[in-house]
Structure 1
Amino acid sequence: MSTERLFSLRNPWFVGAVGITAGLFVLTAVGGLIILPFAQRDVTFAGIWDAICSAAGVPQARSSANPVQPDFKISTVVITPAMLSNPSQESIGRGATLAQQCAICHGPVGVTRADSPNLAGQYAPAIYKQLKDFKSGARVNAVMTPFALPLSEQDIVDLSAYYAYLPRLPAYHPDQGRPAPRIVVNGAPLRNIASCGSCHGGLDNKTGSPWLEGQSAAYIKAQLEAFASGARRNDISQQMRNIARQMTPAEIEEAAQYYASQPPHLQRASVP
């Protein structure tokens, strides 16, 4: 058979192969550039072209005087690596006084046996961002929102400085012979999931991301599930929502249990 006949429009096999390839390309393009962007529950697009540009990573210049706004409050906090890096002793002292109001949930020295997060040694930018988001309404909690509303900018800075100054709860993983979960160390690259440790300590830290060692398993699990469902939406650039949606329930449980490992004297007493 000659090459000319093989690539001829009279050859039904050639026409069929080209048709199937073109059809798959069109289906993939429609699904990836149109259907999947519109399937996101917490993103609003002005039209199909806007969705295509967003999926392709192309910034869309809007000529309209009224750009599309989400129907929920978003975080407007800007975090930089150097912020809150050199707090004064006066700021830490003021934070210690303010933190007396926080002790009932977060413990007198930032370590608690409840399912509230431990704040001792937490990164100052992480605390700052969450308090600002609670105050603005970007993150909502029945307890934290009323507490954060009356805080001034200086109050938030002082509290962040104080808790960052306290000694951090040390990592404690009693079963040293058992490797850490893959989701913590390696992530899941095929699902676009970075390793937990690359942002939340252990391997590296991304500015604004909290240290997770020693946190309550129930708290970590609840936050991952809230990100996955869209109930919590104050993460930077939707990164945690995109990750949590791709995590399996087993991976969420593994990560929560791994980070929650605590020394015996800090573990909550089990209920018989």
Structure 2
Amino acid sequence: MKPSSDNRKEEALFTLRNSWLRNTVGGLIAITVVSIAIAFLWLPSAQSNDAITSLWRSICGAAGVPFKWGASHTIAPPVRSSDVVLDANLIDSQDPRAVGRGATLAQRCTMCHGAQGISNADSPNLAGQYPMVVYKQLHDYQSGKRENVVMQAMVRDLSEAQIRDLAAYYAYLPKPPARFPTPGTGAAAPLIVSAGAPVRNIAPCASCHGPMGRSTGAPWIQGMPEVYLRDQLIAFRSGARHNDVNEQMRNVARQMTDEEIQAASKYYASLPQN
């Protein structure tokens, strides 16, 4: 039985011998290729608009391809952010002799950190701080891993034993009350503190700084001056401060918005340390 004329026409329509089909499909492919080239190659490279650049970065990141092609980048070797090796048994904060020696050394620190380790100058409160935190920060100032003109001058000539004595002394002092007491039963923690922002790879602040947990070397920040906390987060975000081990604070802070930094700083400043 021979195929009907209608069937033969339908078969002929969808073959490459049909010039109409070839021209239509070929034109559609050409338009698509040109549109992609303009939208994803020419526009991002020709325009300096931040929105276009950010969109292009996001697209490249999602696709797993380089943001810029043909550019050679020298990968810098990793830089140690701190030379301090922390050991929970390194400092005996209950040793009265160490505490006494530390109290004598701390007389030079009272102008910024207060006579009892409680600052009235927006410097960090050191009273009741974990001894390993004080120990690490003093060593980082001494080595230049953390930069501050005043602190580097103050700790330049401290010996290892004196640094341990200062850490023991400040750990011995009672923690200060909240600078801005939380009304009533306490305000709810902002999301950045309690839950973080998983989509932006931000862990909850509380996972290291309490009350959910604490990492070795993570400071106790409840009741710290709000200005100090805010300035440190901004410094971590910009990279001006870089003595965090494995960049954990920089990785978090660089993703935080100004509003989140303000909210976290205000919240922790309002908490009582006791």
User: Could you list the per-position Cα deviations for residues 89-116 of structure 1 after superposition, in whole angstroms to 9, with x for gaps in the alignment?
Assistant: 2111111110111111101010122100
What is aligned with 1:105?
A: 112
How far is 1:206 from its partner?
Answer: 0.8
Q: One-letter code of the match for 2:199? A: L
Mapped to 2, the partners of 1:184 and 1:113 lie a distance apart of 25
Residue from 174, 185, 191 that aligns with 1:176: 185
Aligned residues: 216
Residue from 248, 258, 265 that aligns with 1:256: 265
Q: Secondary structure at the match of 2:64?
A: helix
Q: One-letter code of the match for 2:63? A: T
What is aligned with 1:7?
A: none
What is aligned with 1:28?
A: 63
What is aligned with 1:152?
A: 159
Task: Give the TM-score normalised by structure 1.
Answer: 0.71
Mapped to 2, the partners of 1:247 and 1:210 lie a distance apart of 19
Structure 1 gaps, min length 5: 1-9, 47-67, 264-272
Matches within 5 A, 1:95-244: 95-171=102-178, 172-176=181-185, 178-244=187-253
Mapped to 1, the partners of 2:250 and 2:215 lie a distance apart of 16
Mapped to 2, the partners of 1:247 and 1:26 lie a distance apart of 19
Mapped to 2, the partners of 1:186 and 1:82 lie a distance apart of 32
Question: Cα gap change, 1:88/1:222 in structure 2, threshold over 3 Å: closer, same or farther?
Answer: same
Q: Secondary structure at the match of 1:208?
A: coil
How far is 1:246 from its partner?
Answer: 0.5
How far is 1:80 from its partner?
Answer: 3.1
Mapped to 2, the partners of 1:82 and 1:125 lie a distance apart of 9
What is aligned with 2:39?
A: none
Question: Cα gap change, 1:97/1:86 in structure 2, threshold over 3 Å: closer, same or farther?
Answer: closer
Mapped to 1, the partners of 2:96 and 2:132 lie a distance apart of 17
Mapped to 1, the partners of 2:203 and 2:92 lie a distance apart of 26
Structure 2 gaps, min length 5: 1-15, 17-24, 37-58
User: Could you list the per-position Cα deviations for residues 38-81 of structure 1 after superposition, in whole angstroms to 9, with x for gaps in the alignment?
Assistant: 99xxxx726xxxxxxxxxxxxxxxxxxxxx364xx731111234
Q: One-letter code of the match for 1:142? A: V
Q: Which has the larger radius of gyration?
A: 2
CA contact (8 A) 1:170 1:213 kept: no
How far is 1:180 from its partner?
Answer: 1.2
Question: Cα gap change, 1:27/1:173 in structure 2, threshold over 3 Å: closer, same or farther?
Answer: closer
Question: Cα gap change, 1:165/1:100 in structure 2, threshold over 3 Å: closer, same or farther?
Answer: same
% identical equivalent positions = 50
CA contact (8 A) 1:169 1:213 kept: no
Mapped to 2, the partners of 1:45 and 1:175 lie a distance apart of 53
Q: One-letter code of the match for 1:106? A: H
How far is 1:175 from its partner?
Answer: 4.7
How far is 1:239 from its partner?
Answer: 0.6
What is aligned with 1:45?
A: 75
- Mean alpha-carbon deviation: is it higher for 155-164 or for 188-197? 188-197
Mapped to 2, the partners of 1:27 and 1:205 lie a distance apart of 33
CA contact (8 A) 2:93 2:99 kept: no
How far is 1:236 from its partner?
Answer: 0.6
- Mean alpha-carbon deviation: is it higher for 78-87 or for 231-240? 78-87
